[in-house]
Structure 1
């Protein structure tokens, strides 16, 4: 017999009754029934109930075991009494009577319980992640992640993509986040960088004549943490293709995403058609470039109904350049209590409030109510109702000013309204492409900078760059699902002369571009093909599939909110010998 096990803890069933078996695993829980000890023995695959009584030669040793001890047992398989069958587990019809036991690893007092899924402080969970990972929910998430990665690989292979690996140590490049720098021992004073993405390398792969590339790529960015973003590293399905248009990329990746979500989505509906929405329309309709289309609410501009109206706040606001009034329809939200609650929500978001109108039954039929309705009169309120397609029992909320100042709050309000009024379909994965991103934006100091991927081809090529930079659109695109950005990509700028012009507008002269991206610029002078691609965030995909709200629940060994690894003690202070080898000196932070 094998030194540790003849079967896993999920293998045995009624066909094994009478067999002598050997199992190994962890003591999940112990139950003492007056001289009979029942133990749930757990391994990676499942749970088997084992038992021991005073007649067993192993009884005295079995009495000593505690939760999470790692043990090996020999015993005989018995059928459970009919009334004691546990239909919830594959081994629920049998149990194993222990005849011999060996302790493989004792466990001290547990800092957190493995049995059960009760909440525990995140600091404790991350410090003892190896115990946390034994808990069933988190364990299942990691298996799901493994299955998703395998599925993605297989789908890419099926489409004739080649999997290549790109360097982990490379040069620093501006990708929109801070680099992690790595000092060079052989070149004192110089630094490598961990790649924020394989962006330049995958483009060079296309220049090298490989037609379809992908990899499951680690990416490193020194970012502030969020619930849906790791502060240090993440993994993405990275892909690139030659001789393709934007639609070709969509047609390639859509079946990969759709198939993966259908396979692992637990029966939830998956959109078969991925809607394409311009960045401008997404901001207007949803207040975000990663909209949740499970919520049917679309915001609309209603400025004309407030121009010169009796509602002085909005009327005067509209006299200012670049302002507008937007309405958030709220079907079934037509009660003063709900409207007051949403007004309070806006105040909690830092706005003075949020105007509203709701429609109810009055003496003469349908009646508009609320402070706004009284100020603008029945004709204007009726025009608003008809534009928004609302009926009795519905409401609408209004925000005004420069869109950039209130769009974020409007988007969050739309989400809250959809959830509170139960308009959002929770049993669905709703995908949409956001397209036509602006190439440039103004930073806080009024300078022109790239708004998205700097390596993207501008729509219209060189001619588009001769006009107003803020009007230039790029062949850039994101795929959103249920309010999260899952994919970002672009058709690349493979023409050196267009690239130099595009970077010049953002303040980088040709010499700076050659210095920063010399390898890629040099390659583009030797017959670069048109190419494009995208990258899908695996961590976020698994987070959605696992129905988790925090990305750390689907990462094996995540950092905490302060980008610390509490289990391994990172980041740590280097020893003096390491600093001398690297010709570095640590300057203490000023108090």
Structure 2
């Protein structure tokens, strides 16, 4: 049975006890990490979120406390009062290792069954077990350290934005369903049968309304919800650092957010982020790295061979060029040591990204080996090698197809080779870049129409506005993403604030006036009343914490995450609800045979 505190007060945290406390009488409280019996002495490692303190119980120190400590087991929650003394055998591996607590009094506050997972750092346990017993998983020191980092990071964000004149403003969670790219989570209304609220995919429309309201600089640590198929490091609910500014252009928003990132990384990790952060256009990112979120911690840029081979009779190259595609390649320095089977595996790898295959040229022991050499003239082969700056020992890897396939397959191959050949030498490097001038629209071949690449309120580049309805595919956006080590850390844009331009944008997207007002009427109505020029950005807080904490799993940085199927092992949600609740909401369910 657990004992009540009955006025007993904790005077210090376990991990804070130092040599300066020697001779003091203190009271500590926490969980038993482990216990060791050495005859007339019981040693207990007592843990709280600040660390571990060794507590020693002895018959000669206090027999009552010693006898009571005999019943203690790992993960019992206890309170101990005693005197801080110098350890005879110091432990240099922990901050409290020079001292220990001679226990004179103990309360067993609550007992514990044997935990289903070990409470220790670097736990190797099945994910479903960790998630089911998440409250125990979160007791582990390495997990608690992640949430200390999360706390310091969010505090640093708030401090920086407060010092720069931003107001923290909350926006609604129950709102209207609007088309923003992913499925909405819907919430049925009891008061309005057959009608639904939606959970926000982002606070986008509300933060724009706050600019119309004259708030000028808004931010929010905002919960967002998207009902989409989960990929690695995606969760159905996630957190954004969301902000918006009035009377600004893209450079203003980017400069402010560079300062924010520099402040957070300095405060949390002591890392200096070199400012200003370099910039790269979307076009350059795709052509050099096959990605709009390039990892710049290593080289191996993509090289365009289209001009070099445009008269080649090799059918694969000729067909790609004839269909407005391209021929591009990577040079894997030292890659000629790869065997044929390993090269064939790379061919299978690029096929998963819709490439038809992978051509290669191997420069080994002053010989040129390639299955495509017989289809190329000697000078064409030589020109490829020269254009690739290839030397003896190198391996040239070529894809020919439409540009979207070439970029994606070579971009992913570049990352795969970096892992395979350990090309990222400094794993602790933080390599930031801005990606700018994104396409305003994306063309969906199945639907046969254009969609907004970001959202319908993104401002086009001034010089591209004339092509908005005639050639939407060539229009660039005043949009910007901040990329770190091959991951999008955050992104935003300057917004449209001119009503006529917004109407043109809707026209380009295929919205009728009626459908646009049906979906976004409350924002369009507000824009009748003097909206200011404005723009903003949102960072993925969870992803930022992953970088700061040095983990590659988003579930590590969220207290109670869902699994890859959006299921919560802890609460067993989603689950069925009482039939009475469904009746009140006017909902009937259809049995899914799956």
Same fold, judged at TM 0.5 (above): yes
Q: Contact 1:356–1:398 (CA<8 Å) still a contact in 2? A: yes
Kept in 2: contact 1:198–1:217 (CA 8 A): yes
Task: Give the whole-Å Cα distance in 2 for the aligned partners of 1:132 and 1:521.
Answer: 48
In the alignment, is residue 248 of structure 1 matched against residue 252 of structure 2? yes
CA displacement 1:475-517 (0-9 Å, x = unmatched): 1221111111111111101112211221122121111111111
TM-score by length of 1: 0.94
Instruction: Give 2:81's match in structure 1, choosing from 61, 74, 88.
Output: 74
Partner of residue 509, structure 1: 512
Matched residues in 2 for 1:531 and 1:439: separation?
17
CA distance 1:428–1:442, shift in 2 (3 Å): same
8 Å CA contact 1:216–1:237 kept in 2: the answer is yes
Q: 1:104 to 1:313 in 2, by over 3 A?
A: farther
Match of 2:325?
Answer: 323
Q: 1:194 to 1:308 in 2, by over 3 A?
A: same
CA contact (8 A) 2:117 2:125 kept: yes
Between the aligned partners of 2:350 and 2:30, the Cα distance in structure 1 is 51
- Give me the whole-angstrom Cα distance separating, in 2, the residues matched to 1:75 and 1:2: 16
> Which residue, out of 20, 32, 38, partners 2:37?
32
2:294 is the counterpart of 1:287: no
Deviation at 1:116, TM superposition (A): 3.9
CA RMSD of aligned residues (A): 2.1
2-structure distance, mates of 1:557, 1:360: 53
Aligned counterparts of 2:418 and 2:311: Cα–Cα separation in 1: 31
Q: 1:348 to 1:392 in 2, by over 3 A?
A: closer
- Pairing partner for 1:58 from 65, 89, 95: 65
2:52 corresponds to which of 33, 37, 47? 47
- Answer whether contact 1:29 1:115 (CA < 8 A) is retained: no
Comparing 487-496 with 258-267, greater Cα deviation is found at 258-267
Q: Please report how far the alpha carbon of residue 21 of structure 1 lies from its aligned counterpart in structure 2 after TM superposition.
A: 1.6
- Secondary structure of the equivalent of 1:565? coil
Alignment CA distance shift 1:201-1:315 (3 Å) = closer
3-state secondary structure, aligned to 1:314: helix
Deviation of 1:452 (Å): 2.2
- Which residue, out of 114, 121, 130, partners 1:125? 130
2:360 — aligned with what? Answer: 356
Name whichever of 314-323 and 29-38 sits farther off: 314-323
Query: 1:366-377 to 2 correspondence within 5 Å?
Result: 367-373=367-373, 375-377=375-377
Helix, strand or coil for the counterpart of 1:305?
coil
Change (3 A) 1:324 1:174: same
Alpha-carbon offset, residue 390 of structure 1: 3.3
Deviation at 1:394, TM superposition (A): 2.6
Deviates more, 1:2-11 or 1:43-52: 2-11
Q: Which runs of 5+ in 2 are unaligned?
A: 1-5
Which residue of the partner structure matches residue 396 of structure 2?
A: 396
Q: Structure 2 CA distance, aligned partners of 1:433 and 1:353?
A: 32
- In the alignment, which residue of structure 1 is the partner of 2:3? none
TM-score by length of 2: 0.93
Counterpart in the other structure of 1:143: 148
Count of matched residue positions in the alignment of Structure 1 and Structure 2: 581
CA offsets, 1:271-302, max 9 Å, x none? 43422222222222212211111122210210
Larger displacement relative to structure 2 (248-257 or 436-445): 436-445
Distance in 2 of aligned mates of 1:78 and 1:62: 19
Residues 305-324 of structure 1: pairs in structure 2 closer than 5 A: 305-309=308-312, 312-318=314-320, 320-324=322-326
Tell me how far apart the structure 2 counterparts of residues 550 and 252 of structure 1 sit (CA, whole Å).
28
Determine the structure 2 residue equivalent to 1:448: 450
Q: Distance in 1 between matches of 2:530 and 2:120?
A: 61
In structure 1, distance between residues paired with 2:203 and 2:288: 33
1:181-260 correspondence to structure 2 within 5 Å: 181-230=186-235, 232-260=236-264
